[in-house]
Amino acid sequence: MKTAIVGSGAMGQLFGARLLWAGEDVVFVDTNPTTLHALNERGITLTTDQGRQHTPATAAPASELEGAFDLIIIFTKGFHTRAAVKSVAHLIGPDSVGLTLQNGLGNAEVLQEYFTQDRTLLGMTDFPADMPEPGTITSASKGKVLLGGLTEGAVAQTVATVLDRAGLNAFAASDIRIPVWEKVAFNAALNTISAVTGLTVGQIGDEPHARGLAAAVLDETMAVAAAQDISLSRERVETTLSEAFAHHTHHKTSMLMDREAHRRTEVESIGGAVVDLGTRSGVATPVLNTLCELVRALEPSPTE
């Protein structure tokens, strides 16, 4: 498939590199000149527990590309989704498929404005990805991708097969809302708490008060999901949290790293989106709302 990776950060480069090794035709799309130069000049080197691999890469700003792409995967931060999709609108043909594997809620609704319901996919992945510098990625060999469509159809299975051939352990889910919301619950707890406290994932697990906050956020998120007729598995989310506490002791969440770097966070598309849906559904989310307000208070002002 002719694939565009829009948003060439750590996750975008991880997925793009895997697809290139599987023989797919991939172009990386980004607005950062440093990232574009690094990918074109040095390609991508991926290091996992199974060793190191390298691939050349092609990268360009959206304005320099033309022709329809078969698959366009969005990997930007949630607050950049609309601008990112608009920038590649000229690359969307009648058969193009859009896929969001971004954190949070609301991204698929933006994609469907450009790709239509039948050709919009959303999903989640638990593959980790760190990028010491553009073109240098560290990850793990174990992980999965779950994806599905806004409507029923074979397109989700087709894309899942392509990603699975690339070693991304991909599956088409019967109800993609469930894994997406379970990851939202996970992220709403860890990201907001870490951004406010400065604690790593392992420190949250070790600190009783922080762990209690995570449990309260999980309670609230599950209640909001239930109001949307989405039944989450508390046991599955708690197991994922426990594994993170045990095996990612020193890991800093993306929201904490953004705060430390004085960057805008994804609080609105993760915890903030849950709070907004709760308000509209009549479900109270006092703990998560307070955490989100504190994250907002710590963010740089637009003039900084």
Q: Which of 8-17, 73-82, 158-167, 244-253 has the lowest mean pLDDT?
A: 244-253
Question: Domain 2-172 is of which CATH architecture?
Answer: 3-Layer(aba) Sandwich (3.40)
Q: What tens digit of pLDDT does each residue of 90-106 get? A: 999 999 999 999 999 99
Residue 289 has pLDDT above 80, yes or no: yes
**Can you tell me the distance from the alpha carbon of 153 to that of 117, in angstroms, rounded to the nearest whole number?**
11
Q: What tens digit of pLDDT does each residue of 264-285 get? A: 999 999 999 999 999 999 999 9
Q: What is the CATH number of domain 177-298?
A: 1.10.1040.10
- Residues 159-183: what's their mean pLDDT? 95
For the chain, give every domain's residue range.
2-172, 177-298
The percent of residues in the chain predicted with pLDDT above 70, rounded, is 99
This prediction has a pTM of 0.92
- Residues 224-253: what's their mean pLDDT? 93
